[in-house]
Structures are given as structure tokens and as C-alpha cells.
Amino acid sequence: DTAVSQTPKYLVTQMGNDKSIKCEQNLGHDTMYWYKQDSKKFLKIMFSYNNKELIINETVPNRFSPKSPDKAHLNLHINSLELGDSAVYFCASSGAGLDPYNEQFFGPGTRLTVL
Amino acid sequence: AQSVTQLGSHVSVSEGALVLLRCNYSSSVPPYLFWYVQYPNQGLQLLLKYTTGATLVKGINGFEAEFKKSETSFHLTKPSAHMSDAAEYFCAVTGSGGYNKLIFGAGTRLAVHP
């Protein structure tokens, strides 16, 4: 059973389009995250939700809107896609509480290409 | 603010040789430090972590790392490299303000040749 899953794995789209990436975890975790990995492999946190509440928002353009319908899901919707949005997006989750030593479990990533 | 510097974006070793991947951190509070590995086209997997206590931390796949506060370092080592160790390795530190915000280094690509 996949612990953290993301769909789709690959996403190719035109500039200006709106797209969504879905993430689901079956680990019973309270906290979920979105990270962006650019073409140079640099990883940066975008958002974090704890019990469906937004707790981290890292100066991400407001074209990006995360939504957490329940603790097991954290989706990422992107409006008006730009070339610079091309990256690999990783979802992650971690266990109960906000303690920083809780291991984060990562999904396989979604490679977004904006043409 | 916290930050991580990984020295060497690419490291190449022979199979059976020592692996040493360097990580230095900056933190105004006691840090929690992590090493993650990313195999091609996959997500990240935790290798090991340091929170408190023993400064020599053992992880999966024979890797270990030592927290040295005086040197602000958390270098990753493995005595004998295997071909299967070829991957991207990321050092990370928890961000300020709690909430488990990982701050990653730029990564080091490890190549293992026969």
C-alpha cells in the first residue's frame, strides 16, 4: 500500500491554464505539506496544513491555492500557469503534533511542465 | 533564519570506497538535522535524523552521521559504497518557528563507479 500518493505523476499543460494536483496519505497523519523542487533539484516548502488548518504559507504567489478537504488529503490548485511553475511538486505528511522531529514521508512527486 | 550548505554538488566514488557527504548548518536554536535520499524519479526517503542525545546517528543502508556542534556540521558517511547508493542526497534542518518546516540544502549527487 502506498503511504503518500500523488496524482497525476506527469502533467504537461499550456501557459495560462489552471491545473490541480492531488495528494492522499493513508498513514493517519495530521500534518501535510507541499514542496517544490526546481530544475536544479532545490527543494523548498510551499505550504503545510495541520488538521485541515493552514499553518505554513511560504510567500507563494496567490495563484497557488492548497485545499485540504480532510486530514488525509491535501490538493494543490494552480491558476494561470506560468513557465516558471515548471517543477516537480512533492507532497509529504508527518505524524501527530507539530514537533519538528516527526519524520516527513514524501510522495513520488508530480512533474509539471508548462509550455 | 536557518540554512544548510552542502559542499560539493557532485561526489564520485568507487564501489567499496568510503562515502563522505558534507553538510554544514546555521541555526540560532538547537537544530534538528536530517539526511534524505532521493533515487531517480522517486520521492525522498529519510536516511537518518539527529534530534537530541547521542551525536553519532545510525541510519538505514549502512549510513551514519555525526552531529558536531562546534563545527556546525552533520556529515554523512558510509564505510563502503555500493552501486545502489547512487542517488541525490539532501541535508535538512528544521526551520525556526517550529511547525516542522524543513529547510533543505541544495543536494549532493553521489555517483558510484565499478
Per-residue pLDDT of chain A (115 residues; tens, 9 = 90+): 679 999 999 999 999 999 999 999 999 998 999 999 999 889 999 998 888 888 888 878 999 999 999 989 999 999 999 999 999 999 999 886 556 667 889 999 999 999 9
Lowest mean pLDDT among A39-48, A60-69, B60-69, B90-99: B90-99
Lowest mean pLDDT among A98-102, B73-77, B108-112: A98-102
Alpha-carbon gap: A2 to the closest alpha carbon of chain B (Å): 12
What are the chain B neighbours of A110 within 8 Å (beta carbons)? none
A64 membership: H or E segment, kind and range: strand A64-70
Average pLDDT value for residue range B54-79: 95
Using CA atoms, how far apart are residues B31 and B78, in angstroms rounded to an integer?
Answer: 23
A81 touches A18 (CB < 8 A): yes
* Residue B97 reports pLDDT greater than 60: no
* Residue B113 reports pLDDT greater than 70: yes
* Average per-residue pLDDT for chain B: 92
Of B41, B46, B103, the CB nearest to A103: B46
Of A42, A45, A106, the CB nearest to B44: A106
Higher local confidence (pLDDT), B90 or A103: B90
Q: Which residue of B has its CA nearest to A49?
A: B99
Give Cβ neighbours of residue A26 (< 8 Å, ≥ 6 apart).
A1, A2, A3, A72
Answer yes or no: do A98 and B44 touch at CB < 8 A: no
* Residue B70 reports pLDDT greater than 80: yes
pLDDT at res. A98: 58
In eight-state DSSP terms, residue B16 is T
Average pLDDT value for residue range B72-83: 97
What are the chain B neighbours of A100 within 8 Å (beta carbons)? 32, 94, 98-101
At residue B92 the predicted structure's pLDDT band, cuts being 50, 70 and 90, is very high
Query: Minimal CA–CA distance to A35: which of A101, A114, A108, A99?
Result: A108
Q: What is the pLDDT of residues B49-59, one digit of tens each?
A: 998 888 999 99
Using CA atoms, how far apart are residues A113 and A8, in angstroms rounded to an integer?
Answer: 12
Answer yes or no: do B46 and A99 touch at CB < 8 A: no
Answer yes or no: do A104 and B49 touch at CB < 8 A: no
What are the chain A neighbours of B45 within 8 Å (beta carbons)? 106
Q: What is the pLDDT of residues B17-48, one digit of tens each?
A: 999 999 999 988 788 899 999 998 888 999 99
pLDDT at res. B101: 81
Q: How would DSSP label each residue in B26-75?
A: E-SS---EEEEEE-TTS-EEEEEEE-SS-SEEE-GGG-EEEEETTTTEEE
Give Cβ neighbours of residue A39 (< 8 Å, ≥ 6 apart).
A86, A87
Alpha-carbon gap: B114 to the closest alpha carbon of chain A (Å): 26
